[in-house]
Amino acid sequence: MKNNIEKIFDFLKQVEKLKSTLRYNTTTSGRKESTAEHSWRLTLMVFILAKELKVKIDKEKAMKIALVHDLSESITGDIDAIKISEGKFSKDAKHQLEINAIEKIKNSLPKELGKEIYDLWSEYENCSTEEGKFVKGIDKLETLTQLVESGYTTYDKPDFILEYTNKVIKDFPIIKDFLISVKEKLKTEFMKGGFSWEE
């Protein structure tokens, strides 16, 4: 038991790094958003939207997936979609780094707990369950919501943002109504910034 507690303390020390792992997005105060902050609000959104949309999934499991979906970034850092689209990083290389990281995390924990976290992460990564698919869609929605909130002055890649928005609506129809609402707000920000917009 004592050995397991020590392993959990070491795990918590590792994932504390997510508090200072910075993402592409900025907060409304103007500073970069952390992965920990993103994961917290994603989990809250999963809880609220699963209930509001009356989605037939295991809500507790979905919230667990949201909590662990970016744990690998405590080792790899955030490798965002823009870096991949610009060819600075390949999708396969990112995926392999994240697999190595989550396996390291799994192996550092008590066996049963490590396996549960690894399996939840895999469901998200592979969209292999309804819970994993739902969280993946809400993850995109949280990112877009943050972009709306941070405003057009932070949009250094407006073409990428627009393409990202359209792909999300296509890939995750279950949250289409909420995405359309966010997209309308994003359109307002694009207009303020004088960026081109495609319906």
Q: Residue 53 in contact with residue 84, Cβ under 8 Å? A: no
| Residue 165 to residue 80: CA distance in whole angstroms | 15
Q: Is the pLDDT of residue 74 over 90?
A: yes
Mean pLDDT, the chain, integer: 93
CA distance 45 to 41: 6
- Candidate CATH numbers 3.40.1350.10, 1.10.3210.10, 3.20.20.210, 3.90.1150.10; the one for domain 2-193: 1.10.3210.10
Per-residue pLDDT of 40-59, as tens digits, reads: 999 999 999 999 989 999 99
Domain map (residue ranges) of the chain:
2-193
pLDDT in tens, 9-29: 999 999 999 999 999 999 999
Would you tell me how many other CB atoms lie within 10 Å of the CB of residue 86?
10
Q: pLDDT, tens digit, for every residue of 132-155?
A: 999 999 999 999 999 999 999 999
Q: H-helix or E-strand containing 20? A: none
